[in-house]
Chain A
Amino acid sequence: MQRRVIFPQQGLPLLLLLPQLAVTLIFFFWPGAQAVYMSLLQQDAFGISVQFVGLDNFRAVFADEGYVEAFWRTMLFSAAVTVLAMVPALVLAVMADRVVKGATAYTTAMLVPYAIAPAVAGVLWFFMFSPSIGVLAWGMKSLGIPWNPVLDGSDAMWLVILASAWKQVAYNFLFFLAGLQSIPKSLLEAAAIDGAKPMRRFWTIIFPLLSPTTFFLLVVGLVYAFFDTFGVISAITQGGPATATETLVYKVYKDGVQNLDLGSSAAQSVILMAIVVGLTVLQFRFVERRVHYN
């Protein structure tokens, strides 16, 4: 049975919704519409000559063999970033949930990376792993591990994946911890009395009850990896070596902001939007079925 609160008139609810609607319209729909409009134009960098070119920008994007490669690369990158940001976050959250003394200090320390701007995080990782001057690169060298992200594509890919995931671990950690704390202790105690060991308690009680959080973080994590990682890539590899770390969103950034080719960049961002909407729909259709909401 569902209880519904019905407002006597339509005016008040609309008024209350207005700020949120305005934010959505101004910051999401308007730029979205702008991107679609720009994707149909071709213009010089200064916007002095603008011409309508129909779908030419899209044709050019799909005709570029590098674009399809970038698509698969982005899939790999996003999957790796999402998983590497979620698994350690869950492990850390489970550990933090059991800490009794100094829990706040520990939790706060865990959150610090999230407060660091992507570009700063990128520069940090760039220096740590720079083959000539990096502390960690030097450590790896002395252990005999070959490491050269300047020329080796997979080294570079690992570097941007780790740097991107590292930032997101803090965010995921916070949500997992909140999720863990909302699981009734009585359930776990009952299971413990029935003789369930910690691992079994985790997999049969905690993990299923955490699934709404996990699902939410999966969606947010993929969106982060798809859209928000160009700052890290820009600071560490600029998409290189060759095109080893050029993801779709980095291409959008590079073509739009650096190369000032707004038509192509807008077309790419429209395609990217469609991909992410599609992925999110898929997730809601197939993954959400396995989620238990209390």
Chain B
Amino acid sequence: MDLLEYQGKALFAEAGLPVLRSQLITDAAEAEPAARELGFPVAVKAQVKTGGRGKAGGIRVCADAAEAAAAAADILGMSIRGHRVEAALVEEGAEIEREMYLAISSSRRHRGPLLIFCREGGVDIEAVARRDPSALVRTPIDPLLGLCDYQVRDVVAAAGIDPTATTPAGKPARQELGAVVRKLWRFYHQRDATLAEINPLVLTRQSEVVCLDSKVTIDDNALYRQTDLGGDAAEDEREGKARRAGLAFVPLDGDIGVLGNGAGLVMSTIDQIADAGGSAADFCDIGGGARAEVVAAALDVILSAGTARALLVSIFGGITRCDEVARGLIEVFGTADVSVPVVVRLDGNAAEAGREVLAEAALDGLTVAPSAEEAVRLVVAAAKASADAAAGGQAAGGEAL
């Protein structure tokens, strides 16, 4: 689950990480009072789950109330890389001396958390590392030992902060940075994060260290023990329905509905459809067993968007026998209202028996393919025929007018 900046910062604050005072607004009228309370200058920042919002005009620094109101009016409702901005964060300003980068993320390669720090933030850290390797720290954290003191010292050394610099409260800036690194690790570990990124982590003119942004991903598999975090609000209706039915579902842009039993199998089917000149409307993995009620739920989710012109059901029977799967499909397709042509591909355990059972049932609009290759060819042709017919129908309607 990806968190928005303000959600991540709320958790940062709980974990004792330094963040600026801010208020969340969803209406432009709220910008002015929020800004007045925080004091000028303020930053108005679009809350979206995508990068590049600065370049897109989603972050504005405002010197007075009029500017804040105007910025909020522009930002709320704008679209950044296809994400509509529903909320903005009004945040007090900071006098930035230097921007740095700090993150902990789950690394496949290291099979655990990886700490990354760069002396310069807000930029391509790989490029900085090429120019000056001493500016970058990249160190795996042992999941059983946790963050070690030497790793914190490495970060502080790479930061190159003036050893005599102290905050207004009299604390050494270097020590403040070390504390941020430790707190970020504690946060990452305790909150089951798979990404906790601060870009930029800022050193202010007052020698304070502040998290100016947050990018946090919480492990979906661990939400059961992060109960206060709630669900993913950004999930759309179909994705929610699919999740509740135990389906792995991703909507795509094409017009061929796809469902199958296995993530790899469905991905592979989508690729083969593309190779044959078609385009999938979704990714839908119904998991093992291919039980009738699961297939029915998948059909409901896939067809409710109204974009599918044809449907491919691809089942490989491993432990499950294909003739049992076939009887389940007959039960589903015999009762469900499916208005698009359906192609079924059965292979594996008792595949021939399964195909026979389906062929005998002779369901209207349902074709049984003899192979995966043929199934893909048939469904691409069916979708194309349906698209052509629709285009023809529109043209005919135009003539009648």
Same complex for A and B? Answer: no
